[in-house]
A and B are shown apart, each in its own frame.
Chain A
């Protein structure tokens, strides 16, 4: 099955991104596909390369980058949500790209399921 993911929260205040990450990893391990993850609302903060959690904390920005690289996942950050939060091309972590909300709708059309991870 092909899953599109939507992440509506940042990597620290809420658990949404952690849960989504674990879901994506488990789904891929079971042989499913996760072609795209879309980041909206404060979820755009998952793309911030400048994020520097303490060394004994998990680093979701990096974990998403690695998972995307290994499994060819398209990490898309909503441009309108990103710009108003100061997320721009020059501070994007590896594997992320900034694009429009149309990419979210497309993900809903093209995939078998769209999973929403939020508050």
Chain B
């Protein structure tokens, strides 16, 4: 029993956080990032997905001055430090919005919708907003 405690958590589940909304306009993106940062402390298997308008959350050079909101995109760069390294972007969502990997603030793995469906299928817990 002590060994388990030393080696890590007793249960490791696959948690997947799916971001589907644009970074501003609604609060979902910002509050979802808070969830991911807290989740990282629980030593679970964490994946973060960006799809639909959610891909805009990772766009480089966001300038939020004129809308009076805090630009929280630099926080995505901190995810690596929290050992959140499985970050996926849906290819179709990116293409539809004229974005490429070079437009994003962090390194990601690009999956097509079929691969993404398989990834989601393999999860224990899926939280989306």
A101 lies within 8 A of B38 (CB): yes
Chain B positions within 8 Å of A35 at CB level: none
Interface residues in B, total, Cβ within 8 A? 20
Interface residues in A, total, Cβ within 8 A? 19
**Is A68 an interface position by the 8 A CB rule?**
no
- A46–B61 Cα distance when bound, in Å, is 37
- A109–B129 Cα distance when bound, in Å, is 19
B44 lies within 8 A of A41 (CB): no
Which residues of chain A have a CB within 8 Å of any CB of chain B?
Answer: 6, 8, 40-42, 80-81, 100-102, 104-106, 108-109, 114, 116, 118-119
Which residues of chain B have a CB within 8 Å of any CB of chain A?
Answer: 9, 11, 13, 15, 27-28, 31, 34-35, 38-39, 41-42, 44, 124-129
A-B contact pairs, 19 of them (CB 8 A): A6-B127, A41-B27, A41-B28, A42-B27, A80-B34, A81-B31, A102-B41, A104-B35, A105-B42, A108-B15, A108-B127, A109-B9, A109-B44, A114-B125, A114-B127, A116-B127, A116-B128, A118-B128, A118-B129
